[in-house]
Structure 1
Amino acid sequence: MAKMQANQMRAGMVIEFEGQRYTILKQNIMIPGKGNAIIQVDMRNIKTGAKKDQRWRTADTVERLMTEDKEFTYSYAEGDTLILMDPETYEQTTVSKDILGDRLPFLVENMTVGVRLIEGEPVAMTLPPQVTLEVVEADPVVKGQTAASSYKPAMLSNGVKTMVPPFVTTGEKIVVSTEDASYVERAKG
């Protein structure tokens, strides 16, 4: 942790305030008619996701936390924990499955993931934007369906349901977005 003046806060920095960790979303310096400038800061609580507006005087100091974005390789899951490996040092890091929320099914072995660390503690994890999965179940096409409305439900090998074009059949591999499980294209090769 390092102390810094309130007017040095910038978007993306992480600070500790009243025992909680916050990501700075934006800051504005307001200069009233008389008196000292005030720093108006919009920030988000890292644990709860709640937004907060806070004001500081320029002379105030805040605790800045050191953040680092690192790439890890996902090894395996153990109970409620994900085991990640640092590709440079081969050291293992563990994170809670909760860190991924509803994107968890898209995590596959040996996938490269991005992890944001605050003071060495993992607080967020990003997946590659797309992943290739197999269609394990696809509804047959209904005759007379128009092309525009022709997306049909399909079940992916990771247990997630998505909508696919009519030509996609069971056993095919498709590329889907890890953000919202939407169909991108047929997998090549």
Structure 2
Amino acid sequence: MAKINGNEIRPGNVLEHNNGLWVAVKVDHVKPGKGGAFAQVEMKNLRNGSKLNERFRSADKVEKVRLDQKDQQFLYENDGMLVFMDTETYEQIELPADILGERRPFLQDGMTIQIEYHESEALNASLPAKVTCVVEETEPAVKGQTAANSFKPAILDNGMRIMIPPFIDVGQAVVVHTETMEYSERA
């Protein structure tokens, strides 16, 4: 593991702090008029999901942890647990369904997602950047409503509500950004 200075912390970095593994969610670099500069870091615990706000001065040393990433295939959900399989060794692991948070509906059967490990412990899972979904419900396009930034609400086949352009109808496939949960393009 590498030690980094407090001012080198970036969002997404995984740190070992207070005998736990934390991911930096938000980092603000503050330069007060009096005293030295510091980084105000909002962190989330990878094991239990608790949050912590911490100040790190540039002289503070922090342990930066490197997580191993493996592509694994989603098999099924069982009693609030998601079951994934390593496509090389065929080993199966279970992770709680809430590990994906509000992005959980975008997980599809057979989808390959990236799971991050620290030593042999699975800590995090991330979906592909874009997912294809089918529009199940939307309003019909209103004639003449072709303004550049006009959108209409739609419900996708996974139950998610997003805004789509007026030219897309029920039954058409669309590509959705999983990070922002917004329409990207027609599939």
Q: TM-score range by the shorter chain?
A: 0.7 to 0.9
Q: Are the aligned partners of 2:4 and 2:63 in contact in 1 as well (CA < 8 Å)?
A: no
Residue 88 of structure 1 is matched in structure 2 by: 88
Distance 1:77 1:164 in 2: 29
Note the 1:171-186 alignment, pairs <5 A.
Answer: 171-186=171-186
**Which deviates further from its counterpart, 119-128 or 41-50?**
41-50
Q: Are the aligned partners of 2:85 and 2:92 in contact in 1 as well (CA < 8 Å)?
A: yes
Residue 51 of structure 2 is matched in structure 1 by: 49
- Which of the two has higher C-alpha Rg? 1
Please state how far the C-alpha of 1:162 moved relative to its aligned partner.
Answer: 1.0
- TM-score (normalizing by structure 2): 0.74
- TM-score (normalizing by structure 1): 0.73
**Closer, same or farther: CA 89–133 of 1 in aligned 2, 3 Å:** same
Distance 1:15 1:168 in 2: 47
Distance 1:159 1:145 in 2: 26
**Which deviates further from its counterpart, 65-74 or 123-132?**
65-74
Q: Are the aligned partners of 2:74 and 2:84 in contact in 1 as well (CA < 8 Å)?
A: yes
**Closer, same or farther: CA 161–45 of 1 in aligned 2, 3 Å:** closer
Residue 30 of structure 1 is matched in structure 2 by: none
Aligned alpha-carbon RMSD (Å): 3.2
Residue 148 of structure 2 is matched in structure 1 by: 148
Distance 2:64 2:148 in 1: 51
Residue 169 of structure 2 is matched in structure 1 by: 169
Please state how far the C-alpha of 1:16 moved relative to its aligned partner.
Answer: 4.6
Distance 2:63 2:131 in 1: 39
**Closer, same or farther: CA 157–42 of 1 in aligned 2, 3 Å:** same
Q: Are the aligned partners of 1:65 and 1:119 in contact in 2 as well (CA < 8 Å)?
A: no
Residue 16 of structure 2 is matched in structure 1 by: 15
1:103 alignment partner, SS class? helix
Paired letter, 1:184: S
Number of matched residues?
A: 170
Distance 2:119 2:40 in 1: 22
